[in-house]
Amino acid sequence: METNLEADLKELRQVFNSGKTKESSWRISQLHGLLHMLEDREGDISMALKQDLGKHHVEAYRDEIGTVVKSVNYALKNLKQWMAGKKASLPVAAFPSKAELLPEPLGVVLIISSWNFPIGLSLEPMIGAIAAGNAVVLKPSELASSCSSVLAETIRDYLDNSAVKVIEGGSAIGERLLQHKFDKIFFTGSTKVGRCVMSAAAQHLTPVTLELGGKCPAVVDSFSSSRDSSIAAKRIIWGKFGACAGQACIGIDYILTEKKNASNLVEIFKKYITQCYGDGPKGFHNMSNIINKKHFSRLKNLLDEPGLDLRLFMVVCWMKRACKYIGPTILVDPPLDAAIMTEEIFGPLLPVITLERIEESIEFIRARPKPLALYAFTDNENFQKRLISETSSGSIMFNDVILQYAVDTLPFGGVGESGFGRYHGKYSFENFSHDKVVFIRSFLIDFWFRYPPWDDKKLQLIKAGLRFDYLNVILIALGLKSKA
């Protein structure tokens, strides 16, 4: 395994050094290859997502296949513009000169993907890496083994295998990969593993993008319109339970609302949960399963935590635990020091925390690590402005959830413990590029006062020049003025 890994990485480095991946024709051909792969093998990819996560084929297309197709088309449409250099504005003091910022690929990059959206979170960053002209190693998550296999097979068949390679395996392979020198590492996963990735990258001074998670809150204000309340509740239910059964870093982790609003809100939640998922296991075909027994047990333990008496607070819509499925579960006012409120839930359990005043949500959020996303359902513009100015998060969205992830013109990424670096659309291209400064100076003019030996006159000329006070530069140089 080690010998093959070494050989693969050596080949990738040789191919990149040949300049092959820098050619626009290569980049375009690989992006078209991704499109053909997604179109030709849609059924195989959907089946793999079903096997690993129980995703309905509609959910699989909506959240993974379709969004990647959209992203590839967007990259193809804009690639020529992204690759073009950007002219830089220069001060008059630099005359006669010209400069530009020229994007160049970083080299051989490593993408370590996550299991919850195993296709999308593998291919989205790969689009940017290929568009930027890099050679790529993709390490899919071994937890989504069917998706890992289908990625390895299809990428080998549709892309240039000398420059784009999928390396499968568990944590041991991941650790081996991290021992090698890459020119960029893009990691999606937990904060715990993210720290390990960053530590390993530091040994080679390799730049890292970390897409992590966190507890994303949704602040739910009261609405004057029952219609608005219903739409808000429906969107929340979709954002919590409809995205991989809550196993989404950008999904809602918990609700903050006023105590007077809580009972009505929970009743509306129950209504839409029943509409979307039924009231028993027969609704499971519309909802993803928990990835494996380990995570199933972890979620079960959140509810069975010693000292956490479920009789002390409300639990509603609990479906029978079956195999790896857990139904939508709402908990009202669990203790704030319970694990369910201190750890990222990553599953279909939704705590509802009640406050006396909705404005208290600002301090509640500020007292905790910065989330990847903050959602707020309110038509109060002053409250919206306060949330924007007084909280920090990777993104903030009002009156809907998750949609910001699918917009190619917006960057996606975290802040603080939810990660750093951003991608999607042009931001993916920039993530895997270096803007090289190209500065060209003419021999036409040469300022004599930039060179020693030094005297006071040269000092005055340098001071005037750094202030862009060109009139004084001329007067001093001609001896018509003694001080700048």
134, 132, 138, 174: which is closest to 155 by C-alpha?
Answer: 138
Q: If you write DSSP's letter for every residue of 323-368 in order, what string do you get?
A: TTB---EEEES--TTSHHHHS---SSEEEEEEESSTTHHHHHHHTS
Other Cβ atoms closer than 10 A to 372 = 29
Tokens describing residue 390: 């007084």
Q: Which residues contact 402 (CB under 8 A, 6 or more apart)?
A: 239, 243, 248, 250, 251, 373
Alpha carbon 274 to its chain centroid, in Å, reads: 31
Q: Which residues contact 3 (CB under 8 A, 6 or more apart)?
A: none
What interhelical angle do 42-53 and 145-158 show, nearest 10?
160
Among candidate residues 124, 211, 344, 417, the one labeled active-site is 211
**H or E stretch covering 102:** strand 97-105
Q: How far apart are CA 382 and CA 296, in angstroms?
A: 41
Strands 373-377 and 217-220 come out as: parallel
Answer for the pair 338, 308: CB distance below 8 angstroms, yes or no: yes
User: Cα-flanking dihedrals φ and ψ of residue 374, to 5°?
Assistant: -125, 130
Q: Which residues contact 379 (CB under 8 A, 6 or more apart)?
A: 221, 223, 224, 228, 399
Answer for the pair 379, 356: CB distance below 8 angstroms, yes or no: no
Q: Which residues contact 467 (CB under 8 A, 6 or more apart)?
A: 484
Other Cβ atoms closer than 10 A to 116 = 28
The C-alpha angle with vertex 315 and arms to 312 and 317, in degrees rounded to 5, equals: 170
Alpha-carbon distances, residue 286 vs 3, 38, 295, 321, 441 (angstroms): 44, 23, 20, 16, 64
Specify whether 211 is catalytic: yes
Among candidate residues 249, 258, 317, 344, the one labeled active-site is 249
99, 404, 460: which is closest to 239 by C-alpha?
Answer: 404
Q: If you write DSSP's letter for every residue of 183-213 in order, what string do you get?
A: SEEEEES-HHHHHHHHHHHHTTT--EEEE--
DSSP state of 65: I
Answer for the pair 412, 423: CB distance below 8 angstroms, yes or no: yes
Whether the bond between 328 and the residue before it is cis, its omega within 30 degrees of 0, is: no
Specify whether 147 is catalytic: no
Catalytic residues: 211, 249
